[in-house]
């Protein structure tokens, strides 16, 4: 340590002078680094967010009850109920950057059009019969599908069926709120369309493997709004089959994973949120892995045990859990498990803050 330039008269006298200085700091809207450096710049990440489990068996009845009591429409806009991480009290945030909610739409209900800087997706754990209109293009929502609404795209939901449906929404609301970078606009009160096509126009143009329409201008964000379960399922199955035949492809033994991408760039489907689907073969236990940045998982099928740091959860279909930054995660699936995962890794990667450590490395 460098030699201090002062000579302490007495400890008490010294302390008094320091207190005076610290008071002067406070009065001048100042704060010393040296008293709080460790908290501000820990050796490794020390997230406030906590590993947290939300069970589908709790979420779905509450969403149904909200369906009975709360109308959907202009102002509140959506009947969405957010996962609120207990480590981030007073916020409706699943992690510091990610919003995750269960959204519920009853028979014949409609959620009106709006658009915003915030990036959004829907993932459907069960059901069908609802359409999300994105810029007037009606996108069917069905079990296992991932549906996008990139930033500043008008979108609205409608349920022309007799049955309610619930799904999860993922957004970067916390991140955009944190940056104070959000702009929000209401759209028309009247639905853009009540069409109910099997495939949206964007899928028909962009949903073919590695084929790009020549006549369409280069899009600024992903032009594909729907990633269908049949393709995701086939891709995961193929990885495990290839592994069984002795070939590479899986993320690790027994663990297949695909990332949802923007077909115009090959990069993440959304600018701020990474979306992936994982499949664990029966008997698989994934290697404990730390990743800088936070994530939320939802079990899509099957069951298993999740280890996040010192915590352990039994998880089943529909259950969601939040993973704070740098917490080691491992999942065991004696009977196999499919899980959807989304994270803020595109933010960290774009700014070269990304980092990963595997227990076996």
Name the 3-class secondary structure at 208: coil
CB closer to its own copies, 124 vs 257:
257
State in angstroms the smallest separation of the CB of 323 from its own copies: 11
Two tokens at 188? 């028309």
State in angstroms the smallest separation of the CB of 281 from its own copies: 14
State in angstroms the smallest separation of the CB of 283 from its own copies: 18
Task: Please give the Cα distance from 313 to 310 (Å, whole number).
Answer: 10
State in angstroms the smallest separation of the CB of 151 from its own copies: 7
CB closer to its own copies, 180 vs 310:
180
CB closer to its own copies, 106 vs 304:
106
The Cβ of residue 88 has, within 10 Å, a number of other Cβ atoms equal to 20
| Cβ neighbours for 52, distance < 8 A, ≥ 6 positions apart | 83, 85, 86, 87, 94, 321, 322
State in angstroms the smallest separation of the CB of 183 from its own copies: 6
Instruction: List the beta bridge partners of residue 46.
Output: none
CB closer to its own copies, 231 vs 281:
231
Is residue 230 within 8 A of residue 159, CB to CB? The reply is no
Q: Cα 241 to the chain's mean position, in Å?
A: 29
Q: How far is CA 330 from CA 65, 95, 280, 301, in A?
A: 34, 19, 11, 17
State in angstroms the smallest separation of the CB of 1 from its own copies: 3
Name the 3-class secondary structure at 234: helix
CB closer to its own copies, 32 vs 282:
32
The Cβ of residue 284 has, within 10 Å, a number of other Cβ atoms equal to 21
State in angstroms the smallest separation of the CB of 303 from its own copies: 20
CB closer to its own copies, 70 vs 359:
70
Two tokens at 313? 């959860």
Q: How far is CA 308 from CA 52, 93, 98, 274, 297, in A?
A: 9, 19, 18, 20, 12
Nearest to 226 by CA among 258, 209, 202: 202
CB closer to its own copies, 204 vs 312:
204
State in angstroms the smallest separation of the CB of 259 from its own copies: 5
Residue matched to tokens 């089943």: 316
CB closer to its own copies, 247 vs 311:
247
């Amino acid at each position: 340590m460098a030699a201090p330039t002062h000579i302490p008269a007495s400890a008490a006298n010294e302390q008094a002078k320091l207190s005076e200085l610290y008071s002067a700091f406070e009065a001048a809207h100042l704060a010393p680094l040296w008293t709080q450096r460790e908290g501000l710049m820990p050796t490794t990440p020390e997230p406030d967010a906590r590993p947290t489990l939300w069970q589908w068996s709790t979420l779905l009845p509450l969403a149904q009850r909200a369906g009975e009591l709360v109308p959907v429409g202009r102002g509140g806009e959506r009947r969405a109920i957010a996962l609120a991480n207990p480590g981030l009290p007073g916020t409706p945030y699943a992690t510091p950057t990610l919003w995750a909610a269960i959204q519920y739409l009853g028979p014949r209900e409609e959620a009106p059009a709006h658009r915003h800087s915030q990036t959004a997706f829907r993932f459907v754990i069960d059901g069908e019969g609802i359409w999300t209109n994105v810029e007037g293009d009606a996108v069917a929502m069905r079990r296992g599908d991932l549906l996008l609404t990139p930033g500043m795209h008008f979108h609205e939901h409608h349920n022309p069926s007799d049955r309610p449906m619930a799904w999860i929404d993922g957004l970067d609301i916390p991140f955009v709120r944190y940056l104070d970078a959000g702009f929000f606009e209401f759209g028309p009160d009247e639905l853009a369309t009540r069409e109910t096509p099997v495939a949206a126009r964007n899928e028909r143009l962009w949903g073919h493997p590695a084929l790009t329409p020549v006549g369409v201008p280069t899009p600024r964000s992903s032009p594909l709004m729907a990633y269908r379960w049949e393709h995701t399922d086939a891709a995961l199955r193929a990885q495990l089959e290839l592994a069984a035949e002795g070939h590479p492809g899986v993320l690790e033994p027994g663990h297949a994973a695909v990332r949802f991408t923007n077909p115009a760039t090959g990069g993440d489907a959304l600018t701020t949120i990474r979306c992936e689907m994982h499949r664990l073969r029966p008997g698989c236990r994934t290697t404990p892995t730390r990743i800088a940045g936070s994530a939320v998982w939802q079990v899509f099928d099957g069951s298993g045990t999740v280890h996040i740091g010192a915590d352990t959860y039994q998880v089943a279909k529909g259950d969601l859990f939040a993973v704070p930054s740098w917490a080691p995660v491992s999942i065991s699936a004696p009977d196999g498990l499919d899980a959807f995962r989304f994270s803020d890794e595109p933010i960290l990667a774009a700014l070269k803050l990304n980092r990963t450590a595997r227990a076996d490395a």
